[in-house]
Amino acid sequence: MDLKLKLGILFGGAGEEHPVSIKSAQEVAKHLDPAKYEPVWIGITQAGAWRLCDGPTFDGGRPAVLSPDRRTPGLLVLDSHETISLDVVLPVLHGKTGEDGSIQGLLELSGLPYVGCDIQSSVVCMDKSLAYTVARSAGIATPIFWFEAELPEQLPYPVFVKPARSGSSFGVSKVSSPDELPAALATARQYDAKVLIEEGVVGNEIGCSILGNDGDLVVGELDHISLTHGFFRIHQEDSPEDGSENSTPVVPAQIPDDARKLVRETAMAIYRALGCRGLARVDLFLTADGTVVLNEVNTLPGLTSYSRYPRMMAAAGLSLGDVVDKAVALALEER
């Protein structure tokens, strides 16, 4: 009897993080246990077309769609009219249409169990203003921010101008003077109509990888971003596999033990307050006075060879294969 799980793996996507998603899927492919899974590779082109693929590549893909009808769940292959059943779905998708609740809504309609945060948590975490509001209500420090339409006459420069709903620092600019602001706003609007202007938080950027549901959470080693200049934007390098021209993630983070404990506790509190499930990477600032400030939450963090989440988990003794196994098991428990 074949006891392998049919694992639908979604990759690509119509957003700006399409290339990163493909790299993440290729890394997942290297770590899948063939004794446990029968992978079904489902690629989404940048134009939004769905393809049944032979692996984490679009070569020779066949047109297919995910059925939203629970009476015929699974993947519908359009050129042959066959239906491929799926036991669980792993959306290896980042940014818009991957982390914003869109794909989660389709998977909810389909009735298929899926890895990661649900619709509500995905929506809140993707929108930085919503995430900050919820975190503040839970007593967690966040940056002060303004919307474009309500800017004060005097901003506390430097500030960061950001699309409210984007990832991997796409559209983000550091602004040091008023004359730089119009160009930064125009850049952010290329990625989202909703734009935030945030105060610059002075501190170490710390990452925390989390795996689990509710009270039973596994936390990887923390990392910190060592910067020479500018700000962290690894996925926009020409060759991120070879490292960044201005930053190096250091694992474990070189911070005192009491700060490490506070960062971990704060990250878990954020994870729970925002309703995260499955997995997420919580990015924070640790200031000189020991305050922990939320930066952002990535509900489907990068899983590439150079990504922070798998590196932090590996440093805690969990391979990417272990992470996938646990995340899939959590998704099936939710069924």
- Counting other chains too, the contacts that 132-138 makes at CB distance below 8 Å and 24 or more residues apart are 132/294, 134/273, 134/274, 135/270, 135/273, 135/274, 135/294, 137/273, 138/269, 138/270, 138/273
Q: What whole-number distance in Å separates Cα of residue 48 and Cα of residue 98?
A: 12
- 74 φ/ψ sector (left φ>0, alpha ψ -120 to 50, else beta): left
Q: Which alpha helices (H) appear in the chain, and where do they start and end?
A: 18-31, 102-110, 119-126, 128-137, 181-189, 257-273, 308-315, 320-333
Catalytic residues: 20, 23, 94, 235, 241, 281, 302, 306
Distance CA 294, CA 39 (A): 36
AA letter at 223: D
Q: Which H/E stretch holds residue 48?
A: none
How many whole angstroms separate alpha carbon 247 and alpha carbon 258? Answer: 25
**What is the gyration radius of the CA atoms in the chain, in angstroms?**
20
- Dihedral over Cα of 299, 303, 304, 305: its sign: positive
- Token pair recorded at residue 122: 């995905």
